[in-house]
Structure 1
Amino acid sequence: MHTFIEELIRRHALDAAQAERLWQLARLDAPPPQLRTGLQRGLAVTAALLLGAALIFWVAANWQHMALQTRLHLLEAAVLAPAVLLALLARARTALLLLTTLALGALLAFVGQTWQTGADAWQLFATWALLALPWALLARHDGLWALWLLIAGAGLFAWAGAPLGLQVLWAQDGPTSLRRYLELLLWAALFLLPLALSATGLMRQQRPTLSWSTAALLALTAWSADGIFNLLGRHTDAQFLLCALLVAGAVLLAWRRQPREYSVLALALMAANAMGLSTLGWWLFQGGNDFAAGRMLALTLVAAVSTGLSMRWLYRLQARDAPA
């Protein structure tokens, strides 16, 4: 920017007073808007994460020497203390709610492991997400919603029975169709949730950058992996088609939405490439291993071209949308 202004001064032969006025209008020496607020919030979140890590490390170092009730009360205090401090430190609300959400997960895990409640892993994450939901609604912050989506996504992965749908590889008849379709639709709801939160005012930020990227990473991973493993396991074609349609819909939505979230669009393109190349590879090798080297070379070339074209289109799109 400095070079551009100096070029303008030389091109238009501005005198000293005009050049000084131009530099003042450029405001290059002025601090970025809302710098102090952003730094305060960033430092508060960093402090919350460091305090949470310090608590975890301290408890881990002294865990064997603590009585059972001491462990329980310590984790309970870690949950309640940030909630109580909310009344005194309103400006650190997001950081405190982040800390208490993490501590809540540790408390639930401790109770489940110590007293052997018999609950499945997905029930732990579902309970964690349910209890943390009021805090996410209170904070209305993109970052805290991203954490909540991670918790809910982990619960959904656990409820599916195996991570990333890998059970279709060894199941004899494949998973129950109705349940598998329900899982895919639940991932769709998770994918769209940040957009709904932003539109309804349940999130302060107009652009749910972090939360939507998190939801997209989880949902697109589930859809693409489920579709690919369903294809390899030779189960229902309808389920693979639904996964492909969901990924294509994610690409279309990320492309059409303004302003665009390029992280979501890039993730959707990666998932689309993965499903397309897996389908091509399955088609090439289903007839046997004859000319395997040639088929592998063809698949590699197609993968290189497909990935290159996707990245080129994404780069051009971003360059076109960039402010002048």
Structure 2
Amino acid sequence: MLQATLDVLGDDASIAGLITANAADAIFLMDGQGRTLYTNPAAERMFGWSNDELLNSLLHNVVHHHRPDGRPFPMEECPLGDVFVTGRTLVAHEDVFFHRDGRQIPVSCSNASIIRDGKVTGGVLIVRDITDRKQLEQQRDLLETELVHRIKNTVAVIQAIAQQSLQGDDVNAVRETFLARLSAIGHAQALVAANYAEDAQLQVVLESTLRPFTSEARCATLSGPPVALPPKQALTLSMAIHELATNSLKYGALSVPDGKVTVSWTVDPDQERQRLRLVWTELGGPAVRPPARKGFGSRIIEKVLAADFTGKVDLDYDPQGVRCSLDGFIPARSSTPR
């Protein structure tokens, strides 16, 4: 079978060559000093260096020259260097390499030494880009932290809603109002937990998130064109709006009957993506004072929201009312209402 395969492939082809040329993982072949002898096409795509550019260069100095925090990473201290010194094989450890443009790329590596006559004459490095997995892990960690944070906030929200709902002489009406608002909280939490399996209308995300916080006396006005958000952006926006609404209910415009919240947005079309400008504004509440320190909630609003929309977020603690503006982008494919 092997000879038949070679006959079909021809004299110039080899099974090893076909594997490395078509592999999805990056493969590097080095001599006994760690100089690059061969780089497969996947490695060129992954790190931006061509085979000719890497030829005879110390691979470590090109793709693994620093630790993730920026500190220098001497060859003798890295797992790849250990292969050439000891002849050991290190399988599937995780690391961070660098693209030609300076980007950090999280990777899973397998290093193997090539030994002839008892001496290390070279090494093979196989690298898999695990960026997608790391991003999913970061999102999972974020959601776990958000869950703990939201449980604490939910207690405060229920206390505030109870204080504002349990008023009046009609016990049945008071009970119905309170239970309806509790139900709305549960509905909003379920939407976040579901992580939006498909694109969601921005206005629906806002309405669902704000429903537990509003009433006839405390209103939120929404205005903007129909636009759909992909799941990850819908989830992040819901988390940020929930944080703003929670703070407003505890300290801001939604804590008093005359307080008002407006959320407005515009969308400018582009060829590959759309620019979304969204503004949260509070009026009529107690005088605003900036928080003494910024916690997880501020991180959700200012950092995560900006990152997921590839834009920027400004959070202004104006004495007249909190104002939060998002200037970011959404994929063009999500621009048409379903």
What band does the TM-score fall into relative to the shorter chain?
under 0.3
Q: Report the TM-score when normalising by structure 2.
A: 0.24
Q: Report the TM-score when normalising by structure 1.
A: 0.25
Bigger share in strand:
2
Q: Which has the larger radius of gyration?
A: 2
